[in-house]
Structure formats: C-alpha cells, structure tokens
Chain A
Amino acid sequence: MSVITSDASPAAMVTPPLRSPGYWAGVWRRFTRDKVAVGAGIVVLLIVLMAIFADYIAPADPTRSSMLRRLRPIGTPGYPLGADELGRDMLSRLIHGARLSLFMGVVPVFIAFFLGSLIGVSAGFFGGRYNTVVMRTVDVFYAFPSVLLAIALSGALGAGIFNSLLSLTIVFIPPIARIAESVTTQVRSMDYVEAARASGAASGAIIRIHVLGNVLGPIFVYATSLISVSMILASGLSFLGLGTKPPTPEWGLMLNTLRTAIYVQPWVAALPGMAIFITSISFNLLSDGLRSAMDVKG
C-alpha cells in the first residue's frame, strides 16, 4: 500500500506522539494556569473536607448550649468565633453547618443536572413539536423567579430537608434544561452529526457517541454555577423556617436565629452569612474557571 505524502507540517513530523493528550488533559492544563480558579478550587476542597471531617475538627459539640455564655464576641477564650444566642460555640456550628449547606447546594443541582439534561438534550435533538411542547412547559416554570418558586413549593410541601431538596431540584430543572436544549440544538446542526446520520446510525447511537460528549461538559459547567444559588436558596428556606429545623446547625438557619442579635453582636451574627458568601463565591469562581478552560476551540 503506497502512502501518499501528507501535508503535515514539519513540526508534526519531528514529534510524532503515539497517543495525543486529548481534550481533558488540555482542560486540566488550562485550568491549572488560572490562579483564581485554582484558589477557588482549593477553598471548595477545604470546605468539603471540613464538612466531611466536622466531627474531628470542631472543638466543641455544636448543640451544647450554655445560658451563661450567650452572645459572646469573637475571640472569647474557648469560643474562638464567639457564641450564639443560646451560648453554643459558633466555630463548631459553622463547621457542622457546612455539611447541610453543602448538601443542599450540591444535591439538588446534581439531580437537576441529570433530569434537566435528559429533558433538554432530548428536546434539542428531536426538535419539532416535541421540542415545542417540552420547552414551553419548562418555560412555565422558568417564568417564576427561582426564590418565589422555591418558597411556594416548599411552603406547599411543608417544612423539612427532603421537601426543600425536592423543591430546589424542581427549581433548577428548567434553567438546566434550557441550556441543555440550546447546546444540543447547536451540536445537532454540526456536520459530524449529519455525517453520522448519513452513515445510517440510529438516534440512540448518535446521541451517545456524538452528542453527549459535546454537550455534557458545558451543561455541567453551567450546573456548577447553580450550586451557589442553591446554597443561598436553601439557606433562605431555612431562614424562613421552611428548611432545616433547630437545633440542627445550618448556615441559613443560623443567620435566621441570630438576626435578633444583630445589634448586640453584629460580627457574630454576620458569620453564617460570610460562610455562605465565601462558599458560593468559590463555587462560582471555580465554575468560571472550568468554563474558560473548556471553552477553547478543540
């Protein structure tokens, strides 16, 4: 078999790698060059570790109260970050509170990522009337402000962790489905999907091999940007008494119960809010970094 001379550039001939690094290696390389994103990633990692090992890290029992030591300022001996309105150690409560707050941030988004992708990818790929029906239904949910929808659903379902989880999942399906639909519509019109169809492939094989690999990345990045929103909404639900019940430590609930102390110990009362702020902004910066690392052509 004669090999025709190829129009390879001289550089490519000098270095013939047998296995090229691939797409994800490139994403990782670009991501690690982005200092802000790496920093945010480290913060997220630390918060996650803190939540996992809360039992070992927290200096005190987060639910042990002391009427004598209510509303101590930051720096009180034995209470490095002060004490709350029932004299419980703020540091321990913040560390333990990370568990529920992260859980409520990540899990609804994760479930909504699967369901929303399923809805959006199928609507984008099959198009036509199916797309219209599905996407207009999604738009009905999308028309409500997410906060209102979450409150309304939680209010209707009743207070509790599971119900707020459910209502947050429902809140996040429409935006993810819309992103999934628009990305899929773009990919569907690419020539490589046409070529796959021209080779006689069925829709299932085309979606599995040619569509999912090209749409799940962008959808996932968008979903990670919703984690912070989900955390804030979950905190808001707890703040309104629709989420976690006391005495469970959860940042939103802590913010709620401490609000009466805002004039007495403003810094202590602001701590849960700062925890929410730092965590959500870290997730957002991480998601931004991921997006720009994945955005480069090829």
Chain B
Amino acid sequence: MSLEMLTEERDRGGAGTPLLEARRLTKHFPLGRGAVVRAVDGVDFQVMKGETLGVVGESGCGKSTTARVVMQLITQDKGEMLFDGEAVGGAALSLKAYRRQAQMVFQDSYASLNPRLTIEDSVAFGPTVHGVSKSAAIARARDLLARVGLDPARFAARYPHELSGGQRQRVNIARALALGPRLVILDEAVSALDKSVEAQVLNLLMDLREEFGLTYIFISHDLNVVRFISDRVMVMYLGEVVEIGPVDELYDDPRHPYTRALLSAMPSMDPDNRTMEAPLAGDPPNPINPPAGCRFHPRCPQAQTVCAKAKPVLTQTGEGARLAACHMEIAGSGHSRAPKLEDAA
C-alpha cells in the first residue's frame, strides 16, 4: 500500500496511556465590551485506545467547540492535550503530525465536500498534502471508497451533488480515513441522515473501528445512537463536563440530576410505558453569563443553598470509573443528600 509512510508511527505510549487526554481545556469567545461566551470551560477527559467516547448534551453546551479544539481547528485559551502521552503541538508531536493521527467527520455532508472536486479528488487531497504522489493518493482514495461501500468504478469520478446524503457521508468517512488516523471525531456525523441510512452508516463505522483499530469521539444529541455505539459517555452542560462514565452504568444509574433529566427526556419505545415525568423545564442559561456555583442549579430539582455558592468538581462516584460533578456526590459538600464524610472513607 502506498500509505505506509503515513502510518509507521503507531502506539507509542503503550496500552495504558490514553490516546487523547484533555486537561482543563478552555475556549472563551469574546463578544466585545467584556462579554465572553464560555463555550468550553475547563473540560477534562480521556479517551482510551480503541474505545468510543460518546459526548452528549443540549445544543450550545460546547460539544462542537470541544470537537474543534480537539481537532485544533481553533486553539484553546487554556489547557493542553496529550496525544498518546505527547503534548499536541509540542516538540515530540507537531501539529501537522498530529493531524495525520486525528481526523474529523462533520455533520453537514454537503458542506464538507468541495463541490468542484470529484469525490476521489476530495478523498485524495489529504494524502497529497503529506507528500504522497497524486497517483498513489488516488489509488488509496479508490480503495477507501470501496471500503466504505461506494464502488469506485461508479462513484470515484462523481461530484458531491450527484450523491445522496448517506453516500456523501460515506465519502466524508473515507476522506477522514485517508490519512490513516488513529482518532476520528464524529461531530453529529449521522444526525442529518434518514434513520435507515443512519443505521447503515453506524454499522459501517463499527466495522471500520474494528478493521483499522480506530478510536472514536462520537458527538451526538441522539441518546439512543450514543448508547448503541459508545463504550463510555461524557455528558456536557454549559461548557463543562457534568458526568462521565461507562455507557451502561451511566444510562442505568445516572448520578448527576442533569444526566437523569436528559435520559428521562428520551421518548419511551413502549406506548404502554410512557414517560410520565415532566421533562426539564426552561432553556439552558446563557453561556455568556453562566450561573455561579453549579451551573445546573437554577434548573435542578434538588438544588440547595450550597449549589448556588460552590462549584462542584468532578468526583468519583459509584464503583468503577464514574465521575460526576454534583454536590450530592461529594462527601461533606453541605448538600443534605451528600454522603457523610465517614461513609466516604
């Protein structure tokens, strides 16, 4: 294969090192006159090798900004990222080298393909940037198109507008894989597709993960899809992580009231067992001027005085690798439902 030179440097830090570790990632957008949108505010997370991390949350919670910072399409104000133990943009891992290892699939399958390029040219563009010859890159593009289910003989020379949404998203996946990345960020990658096509593309993504040993960050507002594909799930609210943990534990026993509210808003699949609980009321507060203390407290049914005063930190809860940022999980926080200090010990 012509792309060996792009994929020689593999697992460096060993299986125990997270593939991606984000530390206190912060991105604020200034609006002028001192107003600032706190799109991402001190986000910590790890993505282990070979897993799929689902990211959920309401619109405007910072999911996509997080994705763009992880892709370094925008640079963070504060915080750092380690890719396989090495700082992104540092001496050991230049930005260009990092970009061969991390790729992204966007939501809008049409806007993410250049309308003037044939799809094989779109897929081949990335490798040519990294010094692969044009003919080798085209050969690679055709292989990948076949791999994502588009017969190159029929589709390679076509233009994006001649393809359906599902086909275009397959092209975008092929394009993301063209550099042989280890991490693929899927930002609402299946959200705009018909349900039947969505299922096909999800199955394709799971096959590709096996075949190429990929790690996914899967961003979606669709909780069912996230449960289907993810190993672990991160819940975001107003630019912060409120809960993170293994998918089944988190879905079966949500610890943060926001996660609980989000999950209870999922429509029930059984008409005899309708969701009776009222969904979360109100809109998320403005990220320009987020509430003090716990950002969720104005909408939280269990809010107490401590919640308006102190910001809860991500704390281990339950058994295993569950973390939640809620005063009810922090021993001695002052919330009446918090575990007692001696219980925690």
Residues of A within 8 A of B (CB): 1, 3-9, 12, 16, 18-20, 22-23, 190-192, 194-202, 205, 209-210, 213-214, 297-298
Considering only CB atoms, which chain B residue lies closest to A202 in the complex?
A: B129
Q: Within the complex, what minimum Cβ distance (angstroms) separates A252 from chain B?
A: 40
By a CB distance below 8 angstroms, the chain A residues around B106 are 191, 194-195
Q: Within the complex, what minimum Cβ distance (angstroms) separates B328 from chain A?
A: 40
B310 contacts chain A at the CB level, 8 A cutoff: no
| A213 in contact with B116 (CB, 8 Å) | yes
| B99 in contact with A198 (CB, 8 Å) | yes
Q: What does DSSP make chain A's interface, helix, strand, loop or mixed?
A: loop
Residues of B within 8 A of A (CB): 68, 71-73, 95-96, 99-100, 102-104, 106, 108, 111-118, 122, 125-126, 129-130, 143, 146-151, 153-154, 157-162, 164, 166-167, 170, 172, 175, 178-179, 196-197, 200, 204, 207
| B149 in contact with A298 (CB, 8 Å) | no
Q: Provided the pairs A20-B162, A191-B106, A298-B161 are in contact, do residues A199 and B154 lie with their beta carbons within 8 angstroms?
A: no
C-alpha spacing A3/B151, complex, angstroms: 7
C-alpha spacing A16/B153, complex, angstroms: 9
The one of A6, A198, A210 that contacts B149, using a Cβ cutoff of 8 Å: A6
The one of A7, A199, A213 that contacts B179, using a Cβ cutoff of 8 Å: A199
| B197 in contact with A198 (CB, 8 Å) | no
C-alpha spacing A16/B204, complex, angstroms: 23
C-alpha spacing A127/B154, complex, angstroms: 39
Q: Provided the pairs A191-B111, A205-B129 are in contact, do residues A1 and B179 lie with their beta carbons within 8 angstroms?
A: no
C-alpha spacing A20/B114, complex, angstroms: 16
C-alpha spacing A199/B175, complex, angstroms: 9
Considering only CB atoms, which chain A residue lies closest to B127 in the complex?
A: A199
| B125 in contact with A209 (CB, 8 Å) | yes
Q: Provided the pairs A18-B153, A195-B106, A200-B129 are in contact, do residues A6 and B117 lie with their beta carbons within 8 angstroms?
A: no
C-alpha spacing A190/B108, complex, angstroms: 10
C-alpha spacing A202/B116, complex, angstroms: 19
Considering only CB atoms, which chain A residue lies closest to B203 in the complex?
A: A4
Q: Within the complex, what minimum Cβ distance (angstroms) separates A217 from chain B?
A: 9
Further 20 A-B residue pairs, CB within 8 A, beyond A198-B102, A199-B179: A5-B149, A6-B167, A6-B170, A12-B162, A16-B154, A18-B153, A20-B157, A22-B159, A191-B112, A194-B112, A198-B73, A198-B99, A198-B103, A198-B104, A199-B103, A199-B125, A200-B96, A200-B129, A201-B129, A209-B125
Q: What are the 6 A-B residue pairs with the smallest beta carbon separation, nearest first?
A: A298-B161, A4-B149, A191-B112, A199-B126, A200-B99, A213-B116
| B200 in contact with A7 (CB, 8 Å) | yes
By a CB distance below 8 angstroms, the chain B residues around A3 are 146, 149, 151
Q: Provided the pairs A1-B147, A4-B204 are in contact, do residues A199 and B112 lie with their beta carbons within 8 angstroms?
A: no
By a CB distance below 8 angstroms, the chain B residues around A5 are 149
| B112 in contact with A8 (CB, 8 Å) | no
Q: Within the complex, what minimum Cβ distance (angstroms) separates A187 from chain B?
A: 9
C-alpha spacing A127/B30, complex, angstroms: 16
C-alpha spacing A254/B143, complex, angstroms: 66
By a CB distance below 8 angstroms, the chain B residues around A9 are 164
